[in-house]
Structure 1
Amino acid sequence: MNVDKPDLPRNAAVGQQSTHLWIARPDGSLDYVNGAWRRFAGRSAPDMLGDGWQRLVHPDDLPGFLADWRESCRSGTPLTAEVRLLAADGSAPVFVVQAQPLTGGDGEILNWHGINTVVPADSAALFHGSEKPSEIMARVRTRMVASADHDLRRPLSALSFLSNSLAKRLHDPISQDLLAAMGRAIQSMQTVVDGQLYFDQVDSGQVQLNLTDHPVNASLVTLANGFSPMAERKGLGFTLHPSSATVRTDPALLDTMLKNLVCNALRYTAEGRVVVGCRRRGDWLRIQVLDTGRGIAAEELGLIWQDFFRSSQSVRSYPGGFGLGLPVVKRLAERLGHTVEVSTTPGRGSCFTISLPLSHRAASPTPGGGTAAARPLDGLRLLVLTEEAAAANAIRLLVEEWGGTVETARTAAEAESLLAGASLPPDAIVADFRLGGQSGGAGGIFTMHTLIGGRGHPPKAPLRGFILSGDDGAVREREIELAGYGKIAKPIDPEALFRALSPLPRRRP
């Protein structure tokens, strides 16, 4: 296809596609425009690349837009602006133009990814008619989000699929490097689109609430499963203190808020640890996420809740963020009737706190709602042998909430040392099937045989052994059963873990 010729006649340009995608160099000149913008403008790609796109902005809007765009290029901050773009048929509809920088490992901007989304024509009703401006804007925004969801997510998903398929067919290093760069660009744009669409849904009130009584420990287990590997890769400590509290909230939205806070804490902490804990205060529970990161400068503290805000130091040192996580947390907290606050010490770390109401539901001794007065696994002693921090954290959170104690080991030698030095042996051992990255008899099953029956430890042997496994196949189930052990599936499910451990007898001193 000859890209020098428009794909559609000039009079068919408007309305065929409402979303334009483009990529620009660090200085703001265009390197790529998609077919949707070319068809809309009735121009060829060479006409629009470089600084040619400036001829497609309404003359009255161009000076102000150029000033904003140049400032974003200079500072490296995302751009959001409204501007009229000239169409092939002579019209000039209003577009929301958004651009996000893609940065390298050193924080330097490699290029910009941009999205132009048309503002529906019925937004002109803002200036006349009986509807309130806020009602009209809410309706227009809903349509824009729906349009972007259809026009952006589908082609980006297709691009990702095609890129992955093409990677299997290319073998020369140069082509593979180019394809990898393209994949990173697609992933970056997907992140921008998904984050922006979810943010818009939250901001426009489209996220529905489902308030219910929720055991907060279930959310902590979700954090353990999701973020322990990230902490381990960075060499950070990641501690979650179990809580027996039941709160009144929307569980899915609470998980979103906590995930955003923990992700930020891990991203901006170079060394040390991240801790998640809970404290009761009257009829409220305070869930706190503490880190030992760089803290927040006093002049930035009032800006962190603003849309797209990222400090210049964050952009340079921690590329890849888009400044939407904390605004989403703030808006969700407001919708739920919760509060969120921050305390910080520059150079030492920060503490984000979500305060939410405790449930008045009667406490239960079941896995979802154990209390200090009803602890169904009181006195149970467990030894967990796994290299996966997510599994170890999740088991420890749950068992300690239910009244038991957990010791963890990463290697067979470490487990043997704990057994040899224990005044009272554990009631059960849980060992990872793929201990040491291996499988079958060379991994967890072989180690379990050794710990339970060998090396001079029979008097201290636990009564029961369990194998951790993420494989659901019948062959694996049978292999573990024939070895004489129970199975605990990964990721850890609270109900299944409780069913496995609750029948175990406790050893007394």
Structure 2
Amino acid sequence: MKPSRQQALADTDASLDALIQAEQVRLLYRGLRVSTFGVLLGVAVVVLVFWRVVQTNLLVGWAGCMVANQVWRLVLSYRFDRRLPDKQAVSRWGTLWAIGSGISGVLWGAASFLLFVPGSPVHQAFLMALVISVTSAGLLLIGAHLQSFYAFILPAMVPLVVRNVIEGTTDNLTLALIAFVSGMALFSFGRNYNRILTESLRLRFENEAITRRLSVQNEELDRARKAAEDAKVQAEAANRARTQFFAAANHDLRQPLHAMGLLAGSLAEKVKDPDVVALTNTISASMEALEELFNELLDMSRLDSGKITPNTSHFSIRQLLDKLRLEFEAEAAMKGLTLRVRSTGRFLFSDPILVERILRNLISNAIRYTRSGGVLVACRNRGGRLWLEVWDTGAGIPEEERERIFDEFVQLENPERDRRKGLGLGLSIVRRLCNLLGHELALRSRPGKGTVFRFQVPAGRETAQPSRRAIEALPSIDLLAGKTVVVIEDDAEVQAGMKSLLSGWGMEVSVHANVTDAEAGCFAMTRAPDLIIADYRLPGSGNGLDAIDSIRGRFGCAVPAILVTGSADPQIVSMAEEKGFHYLLKPVMPAKLRTLVSFKLKGGAAAHSRT
């Protein structure tokens, strides 16, 4: 029959003292082996010191009794460890230990009389110091069990005081006083130690008892919690599986999309039929939507898997906001919106790439959901803290929806799932990035009036900032005709698309499938190519970085290079930037590729962020 709740609680309370006593006894037996070594060492020292000044039979008899007592206690400890008695039986073992402690205390007390050397202050002081030292050393062990503590300290210390008082000399009375004060101090320390240990054990077992009580009182709640935990584990497992899937399939999924985009761009430049041009434009728009989807899903998976590590530095907010203004000004104008940027000369300390991504998502969202008015991007000092803010004059966000908008794939104004209005991942990525960087994120909105998103960024110190020209701001001068480009790509479809597209721009294209072929092809060239475009992942022992290094070494000059990769692995990106390469993440849109190729041929340096 299942016990009642009241009975279970009563049993728990009744067993608390027994649990404490049992644990105290276990502490005694657990420390016996170490204490035995100390006792035997003390006995050996006594024998050596008093061998010539005390009767041999008394000294040997006393030492033999000490050794016999320790052997008996070791046998007790061995039997205790083998039987591991429960809390009901352990009390008897505590009594047996107390008997052994009492015998040990009596023997040390007897030494004060048996080994006392009249007229030898040195031996008397040594004996007193030894008894006090042995008692002090044993406190941390026997102090755990009050019965054993009393059984040892009283018979050990009282005879020491009495024997010196009996002797009656000034020196002996002084020794008696020292022994008395030491004994009282040890007695007080032992009691306090036992009290603290007992209270510590009581708190420990009370906490365990509280846990058991909660378990009895809240069985249904525990089952619900277990179900919730199981669901959480399953959700985390599903999330890990999703992340692993995107990481594993990322390159394979991007590769055909990359080829499709290149072929569509090549087709658009070769045909004049309006219907075909419209069709290729539709294909390009779909490809851009797929690229956005891939990039945002990849960002989500990398954030969830913890693969993004902030790289903090001091950077100018003015440069960052000017760059974003150039990027979004045309998009805002197409919707009839005004994009204003209120910058400042302040410097921030954070990861500039991740801060840029946060702002880009917020600005894109603001433009997308604002029908009239405008968008303001600003950096403001509020209460001594710097905040980056994005204001809009959109429809606003109802209060009950202000938490849900940060969930994945949530779009309040897109129930029809129109892809032109985005995917519903932007704000989810914003929150994750702010959490990763430790930046406070805040939202204020008035339905019908607009919304402001802001996040706090630590202030930085002014540093020299590299002069970066935005790729989008380059003059539209055709620099491609007649230029030689070496393409290193193992996928046949991408090879065909890249060759068709670049040839259509008037470039001379040399295509190779791996590092070895590229080296052989370049060996036959009489002059260095104008540009290298290499896929990172290549068959064989080398990769795209190795291929670029090899070609540069062949011609002895830093040939402009673009690395194309289907992976946003920060290590790959870092290696490309260190070598002065731009990198493009697949799928690459033809317009973006042409802009970057023109930029490189005009002498552009490597970009710090993904292009």
Same fold, TM-score > 0.5, yes or no: no
State the TM bucket, normalised to the shorter chain.
Answer: 0.3 to 0.5
Q: Which one has the bigger helix percentage?
A: 2
**TM-score, normalized by length of structure 2?**
0.36
**TM-score, normalized by length of structure 1?**
0.43
Q: Which has the larger radius of gyration?
A: 2
